[in-house]
Amino acid sequence: MDENKQLDRRGFIVWGIGGLISVAMAIPAVAYIVGPALQQDTAQNWIRLGAASKVELGIPTLFKAKVQRQTGWIVNEQELSVFVRTDNGRDFAAMSNVCTHLGCRVRWIAERSEFLCPCHNGVFDKDGKVMGGPPPRPLDRYEVKVENDQLFIQGG
């Protein structure tokens, strides 16, 4: 190896085959390691919340729904809490009750018409916009649809 710096026939075969095997092994290995990190969230089905008629005009109403979420090989049942509000009984808005600051649960304060997060006094208005406190962005919204008086949400 020392004297002839030219890659001879044997060296070419050895390093060529060795390199091919290494690459053939390395590419699947990298895909295998990073694969789950690249997968999209699959829980994109419509989730049924309950009767739309339960929502009083102008008052955010809290709905709870159980959702199955698969993480790796484990299926978890999570409870999803969602505020639904309507001004006219036809158009509904659904927002998460999770504060965008650090994930505490917000509650509706009827007399002030605001959502309040008890952890660090984050305040949101009836549309989920930040009115005060540390939250960096509005409450997360869900897509809503109504079928046969049943509310469904998706995404979030």
Partner 1 sequence: MATRIGNWLNDRSGWRGVWGAIFLRKIPKVNWLYTLGSATLFLAVNQVVTGILLTLYYVPTPDHAYDSVQYITAQVPAGWLIRGLHHWGASAMVVLVGLHMLRVIFHAAYKYPREMTWLTGVLLLLITIGFGFTGYLLPWDQKAYWATTVGTRIAGAAPVVGDAIMRIMRGGPDLSAVTLARFFGVHVWVLPAVLLSFIGIHLYLVIRNGISAMPKRGD
Residues that bind partner 1 (CB under 8 A): 1-2, 5, 25, 28-29, 31-33, 35-36, 72-74
User: Which C-beta is closer to partner 1: that of 11 or that of 58?
Assistant: 11
Q: Cβ 3 to partner 1, closest distance in Å? A: 11
Q: Cβ 46 to partner 1, closest distance in Å? A: 24
- Tokens standing for 52? 């739309």
Helices (H), 79-145: none
Residue from 41, 102, 93 nearest 68 by CA: 41
Residue 107 main-chain phi, psi, to 5 deg: -130, 155
* Full strand arrangement of the beta sheet holding 92-96: 47-51, 150-154, 141-147, 92-96, 74-86, 61-71
Q: Cβ 154 to partner 1, closest distance in Å? A: 23
User: Which C-beta is closer to partner 1: that of 5 or that of 90?
Assistant: 5
Q: Cβ 13 to partner 1, closest distance in Å? A: 14
Give how far Cα 153 sits from Cα of 2, 5, 25, 126, 145, Å: 70, 68, 43, 18, 6
Q: Cβ 28 to partner 1, closest distance in Å? A: 4
User: Which C-beta is closer to partner 1: that of 32 or that of 103?
Assistant: 32
Question: CA 7 to CA 4: how far, in whole Å?
Answer: 8
Question: CA 135 to CA 95: how far, in whole Å?
Answer: 15
